[in-house]
Amino acid sequence: MEPTTNESVVESGSLKKASKVRDYFQLIKFTLSFTVVFSCVICYLLAPNVEYNWLQVVVLFVAGMLITGSANAINQAVEKDTDAMMKRTASRPVASGRMSQQEAYTFATIAGLLGVFMMGWFFKTENGFNWNAAWLSAFSLFLYAFIYTPLKKVNSIAVLVGAFPGALPCLIGWVAATGALNPFETMTVNGKTFSNAGGYVLFAIQFLWQFPHFWAIAWVAHSDYSKAGFKLLPAEKGPTRFTAVQGIMYSVLMIPVGILPYYFGMTGQVSMWILIAANLFMVVQSIRLYNEMNAKAARRVMFSSYIYLPIVLLALLADKTI
């Protein structure tokens, strides 16, 4: 039996709605945003004064997705023509023409403002609105969308700049819980005194992790990035031993930083040894890239880094002592 005209219209409308939802998922880069917000939530739960209020966790997740999604929407609107040149990004909604730049900017504005407001309003401190969490969230969005994004075509220092908004969600999560931004402040919980440096320790872990992670991605996608004019590898000649050495250096730096959560009394020895093992694994994979100098080895670094972050963050949370 052939569908009636009304049924066809309803079916067509449903398909359009589903397509629009998929476009917005692509616009906010849902998988990437989820990873970023996951870090924010775990670091919130690692703060010493946090009780497991799952409603707050959900609110933090939504606020984080709005802020990160806003930054990614601006990124795609700005890079509309660039994305259209690359195979891996040509199907994005703005690049393909399925969504206008104006629609992307409108969504980004609404989502960004709402997310920043939620950070301040729902995670109030003793003094009221959590201004530190709100302005830090706004700063992270601005840095990613308006500094890192255009800088990618200018100089490879963009990777260093981009590592700051990439790691700030860890600090934002901590500040959402504590309201304190000064690393030299202390807080007392159940008669015990803790340093507020914990948020910066978590920031440092994710900050250093991004270099071997992102350079491995840039190595694999170098031809696509070059076609679009992006300068994301530390060497102008592309994938070279200099790039591999840089990856090794940052992987090695991750080892002492991985001990700091235990040093500051945030977590126990079990997670410390897990972090040491995970960091040594990243060093080994980076050395293999230096020895083999090919895309296969770069993919190993890339996939190792994907596994590294959830293992490290969940190990810290499971071994939390504060």
Tens of pLDDT, residues 186-224? 887 777 788 899 999 999 999 999 999 999 999 999 888
Least confident of 49-53, 102-106, 179-183, 205-209: 49-53
Q: Are residues 142 and 210 in the same domain?
A: no
Phi-psi sector, 59: left (phi>0), alpha (psi -120 to 50), beta: alpha
Domain count, the chain: 2
* Model confidence at 322: pLDDT above 90: no
- Local confidence band at 51 (pLDDT 50, 70, 90 cut-offs): confident
- pLDDT of 187 reads 81
Counted residue by residue, the chain has a size of 322
* Model confidence at 149: pLDDT above 80: yes
- Local confidence band at 175 (pLDDT 50, 70, 90 cut-offs): very high
Q: Are residues 300 and 227 in the same domain?
A: yes
Identify whether 4 is part of a domain: no
Contact between 156 and 234 under an 8 Å Cβ cutoff? The reply is: yes
Q: Are residues 161 and 204 in the same domain?
A: no
Phi-psi sector, 201: left (phi>0), alpha (psi -120 to 50), beta: alpha
29: three-class secondary structure by DSSP:
coil
Where in the sequence is the domain holding 109, given as residue range(s)?
21-179
* Model confidence at 265: pLDDT above 80: yes
Q: Which of 92, 221, 205 has the alpha carbon at shortest distance from 152? A: 221
Per residue in 226-244, pLDDT tens?
888 888 888 777 899 999 9
Q: Are residues 152 and 253 in the same domain?
A: no
Domain CATH number, residue 263: 1.20.120
153, burial (CB in 10 Å: exposed 0-12, middle 13-18, buried 19+): middle
* Segment 34-50 mean pLDDT: 94
If one compares 7 and 265, the residue with the highest pLDDT of the two is 265
- pLDDT of 237 reads 79
- pLDDT of 130 reads 96
pTM greater than the 0.85 cutoff: yes
Domain CATH number, residue 83: 1.10.357.140
113, burial (CB in 10 Å: exposed 0-12, middle 13-18, buried 19+): middle
Contact between 269 and 275 under an 8 Å Cβ cutoff? The reply is: no
* Model confidence at 22: pLDDT above 80: yes
Which spans in the chain are helix H? Answer: 5-27, 30-46, 54-78, 80-85, 93-96, 101-121, 131-142, 149-151, 158-178, 198-220, 222-228, 241-263, 269-292, 295-318
* Segment 173-177 mean pLDDT: 96
Residue type, 122: F
Identify whether 3 is part of a domain: no
Q: Are residues 48 and 161 in the same domain?
A: yes
Rounded CA separation 222/238 (Å): 7
Q: Are residues 33 and 159 in the same domain?
A: yes
